[in-house]
């Protein structure tokens, strides 16, 4: 019993000391003076709002640089009013007005976008935006309106050049579409569904795409949202430089994240040719080619990843003059392996008439080197119909 009493006091004293220590450690602190929240009248307006401490991620500077150059395009065209199928039925003809009045017409409206590329008033847009339009109205980003005239159109790339007589324009900075890389951030600016200028953001998903929509294609693919009305608008890089003209989506019902733009390199060449020559000047050899399948490549002993077989040589063409024949297999153009028909068509078309082009071909399993002098590709009308030139007949739209 004495032992219990002897040990009880130290235990009680220890518990008391522990309780005091714990209370001092965890007791509520005095709130002390608190900073006062400034009232609205103390802020002095929006200018007094403090900026974020961290850097804000934004493409506002790029948009601010490019947006004044992007315009909304509204077109109108008169279309014949279709008659009722009963109009020519003798049993119902008497119920229709038989007066000799002209056939009724209706007005069709469409919309699109465009890009100011020159302070002189030149605008790039898509051919399909302005094709067959009776009236074209351009709405600038600053609210001004102007009637536009078609300087020229190139259905083979789906590009058109407009002109407006307006002063104090803001031409867009031109970028380098050849340096576009998969993964680069891009912004699409246009007039989707007629809502007014809008911006969407994405990345370059692929380069060098061909869809078979136009004769000459080298599309930049992007997942930036492009909708009806965006056609002809700007695809810019993260710094506000134009790298493409928005032109197509894969399918309106299932193309989420798959949109296409014409590289600015192609667009500027079309613009310069149309303004200077009235039409686009392209190189031409006068052959029709077809892609060789892998099995045919192996049988022919072709080493490059692809090759083209010539299926027709047009009489009097540069190809015929150089000695090219039907059945020749083209493996290299100017020392570079042939990739595909689209790439080769673009390569030949980009050459200037009068340039010499070196072709490596296989003929009867023998390798030959043929030099050809590039000619002028036959002109094409706005409807996409080749215009025959003297000395050569027109070819189908696809071959080089």
Closest CA to 198 of 209, 206, 207, 189: 189
The more confident residue out of 189 and 342 is 189
Binning pLDDT at 50, 70 and 90, where does residue 148 land? very high
d(Cα 104, Cα 82) in Å, to the nearest integer? 8
Closest CA to 221 of 231, 211, 232, 213: 211
**What do you get for the CA distance between the two ends of the chain, in Å?**
115
Among 105-109, 178-182, 242-246, the minimum mean pLDDT is found in: 105-109
Q: Which helix (H) or strand (E) holds 243?
A: strand 242-249
pLDDT digits (tens, 9 = 90+) for 80-89: 655 555 555 5
pLDDT value at position 169?
94
Task: Provide DSSP, 67-98.
Answer: GGGEEEEEEEEEEEPPPPTTTT-HHHHTTS--
pLDDT digits (tens, 9 = 90+) for 326-373: 888 888 888 888 876 677 777 787 888 888 888 888 888 888 899 989
Task: Give long-range contacts, CB 8 A cutoff, 24+ apart: 366-370.
Answer: 368/328, 370/322, 370/323, 370/324
- 273 carries an active-site annotation: no
CB atoms within 10 A of CB 271: 23
Q: Pick the catalytic residue: 110, 231, 317, 322?
A: 231
Averaged pLDDT for residues 314-333: 88
Above 50 in pLDDT, residue 388?
no
Cβ 133 vs Cβ 102: under 8 Å: no
pLDDT value at position 327?
87
The CA-based angle 64-69-71, given to 5 degrees, is 115
Q: Pick the catalytic residue: 158, 259, 317, 344?
A: 158
Give the CA distances from residue 322 to residues 188, 286, 314, 387, in Å, rounded to whole numbers and listed in that order: 45, 11, 12, 23
Q: Pick the catalytic residue: 127, 128, 163, 343?
A: 128
* pTM reported for the whole predicted model: 0.69
- 343 carries an active-site annotation: no
Closest CA to 328 of 349, 312, 341: 312
- 158 carries an active-site annotation: yes
Among 22-26, 123-127, 132-136, 197-201, the minimum mean pLDDT is found in: 22-26
Tell me which residue has tokens 């190189």.
283
Averaged pLDDT for residues 125-129: 94
The more confident residue out of 349 and 17 is 349
Q: Is 105 helix (H, G, I), strand (E, B) or coil?
A: strand
Q: How far from chain centre, in Å, is Cα 382?
A: 21
Structural domains of the chain, ranges and CATH numbers in brackets = 67-81+104-163 (2.40.10.10), 177-276 (2.40.10.10), 283-376 (2.30.42.10)
Averaged pLDDT for residues 194-222: 87
Above 60 in pLDDT, residue 272?
yes
Give the CA distances from residue 101 to residues 70, 85, 96, in Å, rounded to whole numbers and listed in that order: 43, 18, 12
């Amino acid at each position: 019993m004495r032992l219990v009493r002897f040990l009880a006091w130290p235990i009680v004293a220890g518990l008391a000391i522990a309780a005091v220590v714990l209370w001092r450690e965890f007791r509520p602190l005095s709130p002390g003076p608190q900073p006062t929240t400034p009232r609205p009248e103390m802020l002095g307006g929006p200018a007094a709002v403090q900026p974020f401490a961290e850097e804000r991620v934004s493409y506002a500077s790029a948009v601010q640089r490019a947006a004044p150059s992007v315009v909304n395009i509204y077109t109108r065209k008169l279309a014949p009013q279709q008659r009722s199928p009963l109009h020519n039925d003798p049993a119902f003809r008497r119920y229709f007005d038989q007066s000799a009045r002209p056939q009724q017409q209706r007005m069709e409206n469409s919309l699109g976008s465009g890009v100011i590329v020159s302070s002189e008033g030149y605008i790039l847009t898509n051919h399909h935006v302005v094709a067959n339009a009776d009236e074209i109205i351009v709405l600038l980003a600053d609210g001004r309106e102007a009637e536009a005239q078609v300087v020229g159109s190139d259905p083979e790339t789906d590009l058109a050049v407009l002109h407006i007589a307006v002063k104090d324009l803001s031409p867009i900075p031109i970028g380098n579409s050849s340096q576009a890389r998969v993964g680069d951030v891009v912004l699409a600016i246009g007039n989707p569904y007629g809502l007014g200028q809008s911006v969407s953001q994405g990345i370059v998903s692929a380069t060098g795409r061909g869809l078979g929509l136009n004769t000459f294609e080298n599309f930049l693919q992007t997942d930036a949202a492009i909708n009806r009305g965006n056609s002809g608008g700007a695809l810019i890089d993260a710094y506000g430089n134009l790298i493409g003209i928005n032109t197509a989506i894969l399918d309106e019902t299932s193309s989420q994240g798959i949109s296409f733009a014409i590289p600015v390199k192609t667009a500027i060449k079309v613009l310069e040719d149309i303004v200077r020559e009235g039409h686009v000047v392209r190189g031409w050899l006068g052959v029709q080619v077809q892609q060789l399948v892998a099995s045919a490549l192996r049988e022919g002993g072709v080493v490059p990843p692809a090759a083209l077989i010539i299926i027709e040589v047009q009489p009097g063409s540069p190809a015929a003059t150089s000695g090219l024949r039907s059945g020749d297999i083209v493996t290299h153009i100017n020392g570079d392996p042939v990739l595909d028909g689209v790439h080769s068509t673009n390569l030949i078309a980009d050459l200037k008439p009068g340039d010499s082009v070196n072709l490596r071909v296989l003929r009867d399993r023998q390798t030959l080197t043929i030099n050809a002098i590039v000619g002028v590709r036959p002109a094409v009308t706005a409807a996409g119909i080749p215009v025959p030139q003297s000395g050569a007949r027109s070819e189908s739209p696809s071959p080089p």
